[in-house]
Every structure is written in C-alpha cells, then in structure tokens.
Amino acid sequence: TRSLLRSPKGFPKLKNDTFLRAARGEETEHTPVWCMRQAGRYLPEFRETRAAQDFFATCRSPKLCCELTLQPLRRFPLDAAIIFSDILVVPQALGMEVVMVPGKGPTFTEPLKEVEDLLKLRQKVDVTAELGYVFQAITLTRHSLEGKVPLIGFSGAPWTLMSYMIEGGGSTTMAKAKSWLYRHPEASHRLLRLLADVITDYLVGQVAAGAQALQLFESHAGHLGPELFQEFALPYIRDIAQAVKSKLKEEALPLVPMIIFAKDAHYALRDLAHAGYEVVGLDWTIRPQEARAQIGKDVTLQGNLDPCALYAPKEKIGELVKKMLEGFGTQRYIANLGHGLYPDMSPEHVGAFVEAVHAHSRHINKH
C-alpha cells in the first residue's frame, strides 16, 4: 500500500503550465505571476473560513487548507497556487510545541535554550506520520484545482527554522539564535543537519502527494552576513536541492522545479545561482538588472515588487509592473512580490498587479 500512497495517480491534466515553463527556462507567451501569501488575511473569505479555527488546527485540516489555497484563484487569474500551510510545521514534527498568539504571532512554548535541549527533539522523523496532513492537503488540492494551474509545495530552510526554534518566535535581531552560531558551532550544525534531513523527506513527500514545484524559504537570511551565511545556511540549501533531486529520481517521482527564496541575501546571489535550484526568488531591495547580471542566464528569476507598492493607486501599480518587466525581461522570469502580501492590502490592488503583469508582458513579447 505504501507505493500507492506515494504516487496518487489520475490527477487532472494541467491546462496552464506557463509557470512551470518559465521555471524551466522555456519560452512563455506571457510572464507568469503568483504572490507569496496569496492565500491570506487580505481576503475577507479567508478571514471568514479561518474565523472559528485555531491557526495550526487549520493547517492540520486538509479540507480547510484546500479551500484557502483555492480562494485567491477564484478571484485572480494567477498562474500558480501555493499550498496553504506554515513553515513551523517542521519544528512541530520534531516534537516542539508552537501556538499562534493573537497580536504576537507564532510562539514556541519551550524554545531551545541550551545545547542539551537538542536531545528533546525527535532524531528520526517519519514525515508521513507527522506531516501526512500536509500531503493529504496537497493531493486534495491538486485534484480540486482541476488542472487550472500548477500547485507549489514549500518548506522553511534550516537556518530560518533554527532561528525560530531558539528565539521562540519573531525577533528583530535574532541575537539568541545567532549567539548559537558563534558559541556552539558544532551543535548548530547538528541541528541544521537534522532539519535539512527532515526538510528533504518532507519536500519529496510533497511531490509524491502531487506538488508540481517546491519553494524553500530562507526568510531570515538577512540576519546573517556573508560569512555566517556561507557556513550555516548555504551548505544546507545546496544539500537539500541535491538530496531532494536524487530521492525523486530514486522513487521515480517527477523532477519538479525548485525555487530558493533567501530574503535580503544579495551578498549571496552568485552562490545561490549555483546551489542547484531552477529559480532564485528576490526581495525588493535589488535592481532587476543587477540580479540578472549576478545570476546569469541559466537560472529563472522570481520577484521582486515591493509589497507596499500595492498600496499605490492602480495606475501606479501598472507603471511599476511595466518597469519591473523591462528590468527583468519577460522570459526566464516569474513575477511576484519581494515578500508576502500584508493583511490590510486591497484585493482589487492585488488583481491590478496580476493583470498588469499579464498585459504588459504580452505587449512586450509582441513588440
């Protein structure tokens, strides 16, 4: 039965593969577009669906995850869906308790304080047992999408997860987590290796469940400088790409495109270009031309409109999108924001962003 569970067959035929073609570097008629956090609190229907539920209870309900993933696609002609979940389900799978505190965000009841605390973590994680609810959500959503657009799976990257596990929540400095890198380098590597192994199995399981692309979020890369990134983030980012690909081959699963998004890590773009990912995601703090020059022609770029640009009037959003497309070029490029959507953004302005990408890229391609 295991093999049946690993390869849900009979998915609907994909109708719009623009996002996947761009990710693989093939030519596209228009530039594909999706938004980080596109399933989110900026949609009234999202707030309604989520209202009665604890956040992580929602994450554990395949039916609700499917509904939340599909909501933005009912409104906007997006070129990809991303499964509704959270990066902190991985620390939960390692045995840590995380609760969502209103007004504060995700909070670990017992963060890692001492090196000895690593012993409390599960050293071997059966991802199907611990994270099977995500796999079920992916399979259900893939069927429910009816081939409309591809479905993206994702995970947090090791350093970003480690920083949450030690800080116990968000932090402006990441001083507790970074102090581990300086004071306990061996223990840090032990934790990062454990995370990388779980993330690898988790991502492979997502593809087995039906994910057609994968994004790795190194959201806290900006807290590291070039040296710390080189030692504690990049090697694991590389390993995950390599290990996921070799396991997908071994299990005769599709080799899906992988995206690395390391926020605020311009200092590492050249390294990220050679880390084994088909796509490098960019935040809004770098010029398109500079990113292209550093990354070269063999990797697709994704990003990088400042999310706050969506507060601008709609015409202005159109102008900013046009400028962005001229900077990146319409090929080997996936339009996105440089970070996730904020809860107080207007759905109409999100729609204006999506439409502007399609209209301007088609126009540029024609002329």
Catalytic residue among 17, 21, 42, 50: 50
Residues 75, 351 contacting (CB under 8 angstroms): yes
Q: Once rounded to an integer, what is the mean pLDDT over residues 269-293?
A: 98
Catalytic residue among 79, 142, 164, 202: 164
First to last CA, the chain: 54
Residue 296 covered by a domain: yes
Task: Identify the pLDDT of residue 8.
Answer: 58
Residue 297 covered by a domain: yes
pLDDT digits (tens, 9 = 90+) for 87-128: 999 999 999 999 999 889 999 999 999 999 999 999 999 999
**Beta strand spans in the chain (E):** 81-82, 98-101, 105-108, 151-156, 213-218, 258-262, 279-281, 300-305, 333-337
Catalytic residue among 6, 24, 75, 86: 86
Catalytic site residue 183?
no
Residue 6 covered by a domain: no
**pLDDT at residue 303 above 80?**
yes
Domain count, the chain: 1
Residue 178 covered by a domain: yes
| Distance between CA atoms of residues 5 and 28, nearest Å | 34
Residue 10 covered by a domain: no
Tokens of 25: 């570097």
**pLDDT at residue 85 above 50?**
yes
Residue 239: CATH number of its domain: 3.20.20.210
Residue 290 covered by a domain: yes
Q: Could you write out the three-class secondary structure of 92-123? A: HHCCCCEEEECCCEEEECCCCCCHHHHHHCCC
Residue 143 covered by a domain: yes
Catalytic residue among 6, 24, 41, 193: 41
Catalytic site residue 41?
yes
Residue 9 covered by a domain: no
Provide the domain limits for residue 115: 17-366
Burial call 292-304: b when 16+ CB within 10 Å, e when fewer: bebbeeebbbbbb
pLDDT band at 4 (very low <50, low <70, confident <90, very high): very low
Task: Identify the pLDDT of residue 53.
Answer: 87
Catalytic residue among 21, 37, 60, 332: 37
